[in-house]
Amino acid sequence: MVKLVILLWRRPDMTQEQFNARWRGEHARLVNELKDKIRMRHYVQNHIAPDAGGSSFGPGRALAATGCDGVVEGWWDSLEDLHEGFNSPEGMAASSLLLEDERAFMDMSKTIVLPVQEQRIF
C-alpha cells in the first residue's frame, strides 16, 4: 500500500465550519464518484479538532502549531497504481475535476502532499 497524506488549509474567505461542510459534503461525494478513475482504494478525511484538550499530550509532546484545517489520507495498492491513476487519460480528467473543486474551498498555495508507505506496528 502507498498513501498520500495531504495537509489542507481553507481559503481565507471561508470559516472553519464552511470549509468542513464543503469538504465533507460535495468534495467527498466527488472523490467517491472518481475513486475508480484515479485507482484510489481508501479515502479518509481528518478534520482538526477545535479543542484537543490543551496544548500538549504530556512532556515533549506539544500539539503542532501548523494551523492547517484538515488532513487527507488516500491509499493506493501500489506506487504504480498511484501513478497510473493520475497519469492515464481517465485519471488526468478525474484529477482535473478534483483540482477544480479543491480550488473552491482550499488554499492551494499552502497544500502539502506527503507520499508515504505506512509501517503498521500494531
Look at residue 77 and tell me whether its pLDDT is greater than 70.
Answer: yes
pLDDT at residue number 102:
97
CATH architecture of 2-45+68-116: 2-Layer Sandwich (3.30)
Please give the grid coordinates belonging to residue 53. 484538550
Predicted confidence (pLDDT) per residue in 18-65, tens digit: 999 999 999 999 999 999 999 999 999 999 877 655 555 666 655 555
Q: What is the pTM of this model?
A: 0.85
Report the 3 state secondary structure along 15-73: CHHHHHHHHHHHHHHHHHHHCCCCCCCEEEEEECCCCCCCCECCCCCECCCCCCCEEEE
